[in-house]
């Protein structure tokens, strides 16, 4: 049969034919499953933060799930036996818990929680039985913590308290008092999920578990984070930007402070002196070296350059770059228990692997590789590693890796997934307009037939320095379950393909990356998958930004959804949190205005003919709703079909379960109406 253009009625008939045939004995088990729904997406649980116990018998981790009736999310700590078997919930329903950590002797499992509507504290569970007990009572709450190697202390990450945090016996009507004005004098004065910034800083404290005494070990007009204990427990390495004006750059360095410091960190040792960011320190077992993430590019610091693995003596000195030949991003380095290697996560061409480098030979091996996305890991004894792995049809689950074998330990979503028929995924490579090879993924509609041309959504990722990988994509699966072919390219500007590829759209947004994503659509059309008359486009964050470029440069798309996008960059200066990034790429707006205006899609808004839905969070200071409002206003004035949806009190990500459900419903309704051409009732 020859290929022909997609018809919605024909597709229904095609599906109907499948339903009729469902009673036939030849129907496969896969075909008898049902399509994924929005409610299914919200039922999928999220696994995170695996932590192997010291004796390597258990893995603690978190599970986050949503409750639509209560319209809230909750995270609990669980524990799974490494030998295999049922997982055990360690924290009760009713209060979220995060950041599970084992005591060095393995007798206790600690976590962070804000129980009884209080501030977030460190809680502790005795594995021998009993209820969790609060270890800390910090008025302003705890932001992070780590056990000392001997188990007698914790290093705490605390932000300076507000005056009201220190007030005792506060009046019950305190929250009803008239709010005070924000008085701002910082250069960087706003941040998403925080709002306006004050002068309070984040510092490190050592908390003695015996006498409950707390000692401040860092101070000053700086923020300190990512504490890491030395193996002997005498020192703490941490990350801090201690330049003269930290708000004007992101030059973080690795520092060392004595864990018994009594001068609040006035006596420090600076380990790295790179002008670009250094972070994520990890100590060698002998205490002589620190491995860490570094950027060696001296010009491009704000997300547009490769992060390498480096190692340096604790006294400081010239670092040894361990992954320079890879030309790929690494993160989360950890020394092996014998100190002979450093493990790290490696981002590479639509996959994320767990790798390690041998320190004597420099040889890099991939411990967990292939079509997998590793997002977290924890080292155990005898070469065993717990890894959080996602695959095309598997949301993240914890596996045990040993001797090139993977054993699945958790089966959090197994029951729900066993009921669902998920999309087939095809890894694609195609040429862009100038011949550059681009990689991407195609999610195929359920019951995909090569004899049909399908309505297609060009689904664009954020970043732009990010990548689509082989991990489970909930939105792509939802679109495919509703009859769409989904094209997900990694255009220039994406990570995972080397420094030059990432820098290809530096200060030139919406040019080469636009050509790349359009080439992805043309590839799907040439393959015979896509109906060229039924195209949609959309994305979130930079995906929303790139959508704005697409609709101002192309009239091919019947419907678009721009989520948390930007369009008139000059309007964002001083309004969102990215002033340093803008200045690095485009220069100061009053000195280099042309560069700002040249790449602003708003300046070509008169070219838009595509019906476009603009969505975002009311309090998003990452990609402020301001630009979506401006695009909506312009399209409304131009007479182009458009709608603006703003979610109250939401930030860059829409987290409220009822809002997430509403967002998914609007996605499908908009594409169904404008791409498929399905008539429907207007939803307010």
Tens digits of residue pLDDT in 656-671: 999 999 999 999 999 9
Does position 362 have pLDDT exceeding 90, yes or no?
yes
Closest to 62 in 3D by CA, of 79, 84, 81: 79
State the pLDDT at residue 383. 86
**Annotated domain spans of the chain:** 8-30+423-676, 136-163+189-270
Give me the percent of the chain exceeding a pLDDT of 90: 80
Contacts of 8 (CB under 8 A, 6+ apart): 455, 483, 676, 677, 678
Q: 570 is written with which tokens?
A: 């000059």
Q: Considering the entire predicted model, what is its pTM?
A: 0.91
CB-based burial label for 351 (10 Å; 0-12, 13-18, 19+): buried
Per residue in 574-612, pLDDT (tens digit) is: 999 999 899 989 999 999 999 999 999 999 999 999 999
What's the CATH class of domain 8-30+423-676? alpha beta
Measured in degrees and rounded to the nearest 5, phi and psi for residue 145 equal -165, 160
Cis omega before residue 248 (within 30°)? no
Q: 549 is written with which tokens?
A: 């470029």
What DSSP state is assigned to residue 605? G
Per residue in 464-515, pLDDT (tens digit) is: 999 999 999 999 999 999 999 999 999 999 999 999 999 999 999 999 999 9
Query: E-assigned strands of 138-200?
Result: 144-147, 153-159, 190-191, 195-196
Contact between residue 137 and residue 121 where contact means Cβ atoms under 8 Å apart: yes
Residue 104, SS3? coil
Q: 670 is written with which tokens?
A: 């908009």
Q: 526 is written with which tokens?
A: 């040439």
Which architecture does CATH list for 136-163+189-270?
6 Propeller (2.120)
Q: How far apart are CA 630 and CA 407, in angstroms?
A: 51
Secondary structure percentages of the chain, helix, strand, coil, to 5: 20, 35, 45
Average pLDDT of 130-135? 89
Determine how many CB atoms are found less than 10 A away from the CB of residue 405: 8
State the pLDDT at residue 178. 78
Contact between residue 404 and residue 391 where contact means Cβ atoms under 8 Å apart: no
Average pLDDT of 247-269? 90
Does position 15 have pLDDT exceeding 60, yes or no?
no
State the pLDDT at residue 610. 98
Contact between residue 389 and residue 374 where contact means Cβ atoms under 8 Å apart: yes
Q: 19 is written with which tokens?
A: 């339903």
Which of 79-93, 145-159, 258-272 shows the highest mean pLDDT?
145-159
Q: 676 is written with which tokens?
A: 């498929």
Tokens 């994305």 found at = 539
Contacts of 552 (CB under 8 A, 6+ apart): 601, 604, 605, 607, 608
Q: 214 is written with which tokens?
A: 């707390």
Q: Work out whether strand 289-294 and strand 278-283 pair parallel, antiparallel, or are unpaired.
A: antiparallel
Per residue in 559-572, pLDDT (tens digit) is: 999 999 999 999 99
- CA 291: distance to chain centroid? 23
């Amino acid at each position: 049969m020859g290929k022909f253009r997609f018809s919605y009625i024909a597709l229904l008939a095609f599906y109907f034919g499948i339903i009729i045939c469902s009673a036939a004995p030849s129907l496969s088990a896969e075909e008898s499953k049902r399509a994924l729904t929005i409610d299914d997406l919200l039922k999928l649980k999220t696994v995170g933060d695996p932590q192997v116990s010291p004796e390597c018998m258990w893995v603690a981790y978190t599970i986050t799930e949503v409750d639509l009736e209560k319209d809230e999310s909750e995270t609990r700590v669980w524990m799974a036996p490494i030998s295999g078997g049922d997982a055990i919930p360690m924290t009760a329903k009713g209060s979220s818990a995060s950041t599970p950590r084992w005591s060095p002797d393995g007798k206790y499992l600690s976590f962070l929680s804000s129980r009884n509507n209080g501030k977030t504290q460190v809680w502790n569970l005795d594995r021998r039985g009993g209820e969790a007990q609060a270890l800390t009572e910090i008025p302003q709450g705890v932001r992070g913590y780590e056990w000392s190697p001997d188990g007698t202390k914790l290093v705490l990450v605390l932000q300076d308290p507000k005056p009201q945090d220190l007030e005792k016996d506060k009046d019950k009507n305190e929250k009803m008092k008239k709010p005070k004005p924000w008085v701002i004098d910082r250069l960087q004065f706003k941040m998403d999920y925080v709002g306006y910034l004050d002068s309070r800083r984040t510092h490190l404290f050592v908390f003695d578990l015996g006498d409950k005494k707390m000692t401040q070990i860092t101070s000053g007009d700086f923020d300190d984070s990512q504490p890491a204990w030395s193996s002997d427990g005498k020192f703490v390495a941490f990350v801090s930007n201690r330049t003269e004006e930290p708000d004007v750059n992101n030059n973080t360095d690795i520092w060392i402070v004595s864990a018994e410091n009594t001068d609040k960190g006035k006596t420090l040792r600076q380990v790295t002196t790179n002008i670009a960011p250094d972070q994520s320190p990890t100590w060698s077992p002998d205490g002589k070296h620190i491995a860490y993430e570094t950027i060696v590019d001296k010009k491009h610091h704000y997300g547009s350059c490769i992060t390498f693995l480096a190692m340096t003596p604790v006294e400081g000195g010239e670092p040894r770059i361990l992954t320079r030949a890879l030309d790929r991003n690494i993160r989360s380095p950890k020394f092996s228990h014998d100190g002979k290697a450093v493990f790290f996560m490696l981002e590479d061409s639509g996959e994320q692997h767990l790798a390690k480098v041998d320190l004597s030979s420099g040889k890099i091996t991939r411990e967990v590789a292939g079509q997998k996305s590793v997002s977290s890991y924890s080292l155990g004894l005898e070469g065993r590693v717990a890894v959080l792995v996602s695959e095309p049809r598997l949301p993240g689950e914890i596996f045990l890796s040993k001797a090139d074998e993977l054993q699945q330990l958790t089966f959090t979503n197994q029951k729900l997934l066993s009921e669902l028929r998920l999309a087939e995924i095809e890894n694609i490579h195609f040429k862009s307009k100038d011949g550059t090879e681009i990689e991407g993924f195609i999610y195929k509609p359920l019951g995909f037939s090569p004899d049909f041309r399908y309505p297609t959504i060009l689904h664009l990722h954020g970043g732009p320095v990010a990548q689509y990988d082989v991990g489970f994509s909930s939105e792509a699966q939802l679109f495919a379950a509703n009859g769409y072919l989904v094209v997900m390219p990694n255009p220039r500007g994406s990570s995972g393909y080397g420094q030059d590829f990432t820098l290809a759209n530096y200060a030139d947004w919406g040019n080469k990356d636009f050509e790349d994503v359009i080439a992805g659509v043309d590839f799907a059309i040439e393959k015979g998958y896509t109906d060229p008359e039924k195209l949609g486009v959309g994305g979130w964050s930079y995906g929303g930004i790139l959508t704005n470029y697409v609709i101002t440069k192309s009239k091919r798309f019947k419907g678009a959804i721009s989520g948390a996008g930007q369009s008139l960059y000059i309007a964002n200066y001083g309004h969102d949190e990215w002033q340093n990034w803008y200045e690095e790429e485009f220069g100061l707006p009053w000195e280099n205005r042309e560069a700002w205006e040249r790449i602003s899609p708003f300046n070509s808004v008169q070219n838009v003919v595509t019906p476009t839905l603009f969505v975002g969070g009311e309090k998003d200071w990452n990609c402020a709703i301001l630009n979506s409002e401006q695009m909506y206003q312009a399209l409304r004035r131009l007479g182009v079909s458009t709608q603006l949806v703003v979610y109250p009190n939401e930030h860059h990500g829409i987290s409220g379960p009822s809002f997430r459900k509403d967002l998914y419903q609007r996605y499908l309704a908009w594409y169904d109406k404008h791409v498929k051409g399905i008539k429907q009732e207007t939803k307010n």
